[in-house]
């Protein structure tokens, strides 16, 4: 059977199963690609493909494992209590201010270019507010993920670096014309936050910061025996040092997280029994995220190893009729939404983008325009079950991945459309080549 057709069927089957909740993402990521690899006649090599995919995602899995443990322990110690209390005073119990602040805070934190770090920091600061006022956490995840998708277009972000590398372009030159579209996207997100805020105002109204509520604060009430207020300055310095190390790249992310976790445990909980208790308290959270990462490695390993990704890319490009050739830039922007969702960024930018750029040159569309257009789908890309940081986000927020995908898909696609329209208007990439 044709590899491209099998690839499309595999992706469609996988998404249908998890969106309808007929199968958990963990099971679907393992069973669906294995079944299609066997159907395609790759029984003898499917094991090697799985191991290759797992190896590629192993550093990410290790990093997320120790990141969840480290920041969970920092929350247990009460490190974020002062920040939460200050935020409570600033927002004055207004859900709209909390939602607008979510976008602003995420945009600032996202400047480091790492989605996992962004989610860890922003969730630690904001989730207690959402819980205290009983706000809809789907709003939190929607705003955080979409904001991160916009800010991910910085030159040091993964997608822009991949596009520049794939087509041998200067990242700075590639990035600068995208700034108006990013600003427009953030403005649209602020408007979305205001709309969410109005809905929450109608539902829960204003809540005075000093009013008793059903929720008394995650960092305050959970595991009171684990609080270490006398070590707050040390824990704050350790967290800042970790973030500085992440930004400067002094060590690999996984190594930094492991070291920070070990130091935090030794200083805050010197007794072995205390350390075991802290690890056990967060083991469920860790297992749910890390197991999905390694399962996703099987999916991506088979998708690449069987050649399905390459076949799917060629099939899509070949399907574009010559009459639409001069419109390759907006076509590329439109294709970036589904394809960066269904396949990894690496597969799209290193496998499909060069083919799209080559097709564009035949119709007078520059590779630079194609590269910029290819970045427009990033807010939707982060909804993909193949993105490790997405599992971290929904796990920390305590919501279901399928619920997050259904809720956020339309707003994320709308933000992509806003950025694309502005990108064409400022000639970052032309409508017609």
Q: Tell me the DSSP string of 238-262.
A: HHHHHHHHHHHTSS-HHHHHHHHHH
Global pTM reads 0.71
Write out residues in the chain with pLDDT < 50, as ranges. 209-221
Distance CA 79, CA 73 (A): 9
Within 8 A by CB and 6+ apart from 172, the residues are 155
> pLDDT tens digits, residue range 289-348?
788 778 888 887 888 888 887 787 777 777 778 888 888 899 999 999 998 888 777 778
Residue 211 lies in a domain: no
The predicted pLDDT at position 90 comes to 75
Structure tokens that stand for 395 in this block: 């796990």
> What's the pLDDT at 175?
86
Judge whether 218 lies within some domain.
no
- Helix or strand or coil: residue 152? coil
| Model confidence pLDDT, tens digit, residues 86-98 | 766 777 778 899 9
Q: Is residue 87 part of a domain?
A: yes
Residue from 303, 304, 299, 339 nearest 319 by CA: 339
The pLDDT value given to residue 174: 87
**Residue 220: inside a domain:** no
Q: At what angle do helices 46-77 and 253-268 cross, to 10 degrees?
A: 40
- Classified as helix, coil or strand, 336 is helix
- Residue 215 within any structural domain of the chain: no
Instruction: Quote the number of domains for the chain.
Output: 1
In a domain, 171, yes or no: yes
Q: Could you tell me if 75 and 116 are in contact, meaning their C-beta atoms sit under 8 angstroms apart? A: no
Domain that holds residue 71: 3-205+227-426
pLDDT the model gives residue 114:
66
What does the pLDDT read at residue 208? 55
Q: How many residues does the chain have?
A: 433
Q: Three-class SS of residue 47?
A: helix
């Amino acid at each position: 059977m044709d590899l491209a057709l099998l690839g499309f069927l595999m992706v469609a089957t996988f998404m249908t199963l998890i969106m309808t909740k007929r199968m958990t993402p963990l099971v679907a990521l393992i069973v669906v690609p294995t079944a299609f690899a066997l159907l395609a006649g790759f029984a003898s090599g499917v094991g090697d493909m799985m191991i290759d995919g797992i190896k590629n995602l192993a550093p990410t899995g290790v990093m997320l494992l120790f990141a969840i443990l480290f920041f969970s322990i920092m929350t247990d110690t009460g490190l974020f209590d002062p920040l939460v209390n200050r935020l409570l005073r600033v927002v004055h119990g207004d859900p709209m201010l909390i939602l607008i602040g979510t976008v602003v805070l995420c945009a600032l934190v996202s400047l480091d270019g790492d989605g996992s770090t962004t989610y860890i920091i922003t969730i630690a600061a904001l989730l207690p507010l959402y819980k205290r006022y009983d706000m809809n956490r789907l709003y939190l995840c929607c705003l955080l993920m979409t904001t991160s998708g916009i800010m991910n277009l910085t030159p040091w972000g993964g997608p822009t670096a991949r596009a520049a590398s794939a087509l041998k372009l200067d990242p700075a030159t590639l990035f600068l014309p995208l700034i108006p579209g990013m600003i427009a996207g953030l403005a649209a997100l602020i408007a979305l936050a205001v709309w969410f805020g109005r809905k929450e105002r109608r539902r829960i109204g204003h809540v005075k910061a000093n009013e008793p509520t059903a929720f008394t604060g995650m960092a305050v009430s959970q595991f009171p025996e684990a609080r270490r207020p006398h070590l707050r300055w040390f824990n704050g310095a350790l967290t800042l040092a970790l973030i500085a190390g992440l930004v400067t790249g002094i060590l690999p992310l996984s190594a930094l997280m492991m070291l920070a976790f070990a130091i935090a445990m030794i200083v805050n909980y010197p007794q072995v029994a205390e350390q075991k208790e802290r690890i056990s308290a967060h083991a469920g959270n860790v297992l749910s995220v890390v197991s999905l990462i390694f399962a996703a490695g099987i999916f991506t390993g088979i998708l690449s190893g069987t050649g399905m990704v390459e076949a799917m890319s060629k099939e899509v490009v070949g399907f574009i009729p010559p009459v639409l050739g001069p419109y390759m830039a907006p076509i590329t922007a439109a294709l970036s939404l589904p394809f960066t969702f269904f396949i990894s960024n690496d597969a799209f930018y290193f496998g499909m983008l060069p083919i799209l750029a080559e097709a564009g040159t035949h119709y007078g569309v520059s590779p630079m325009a194609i590269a910029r257009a290819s970045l427009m789908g990033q807010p939707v890309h982060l909804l993909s079950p193949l993105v490790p940081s997405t599992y971290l986000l929904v796990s920390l927020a305590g919501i279901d991945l399928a619920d997050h995908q259904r809720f956020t898909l339309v707003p994320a696609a709308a933000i992509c459309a806003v950025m694309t329209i502005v990108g064409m208007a400022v000639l970052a990439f032309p409508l017609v080549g």
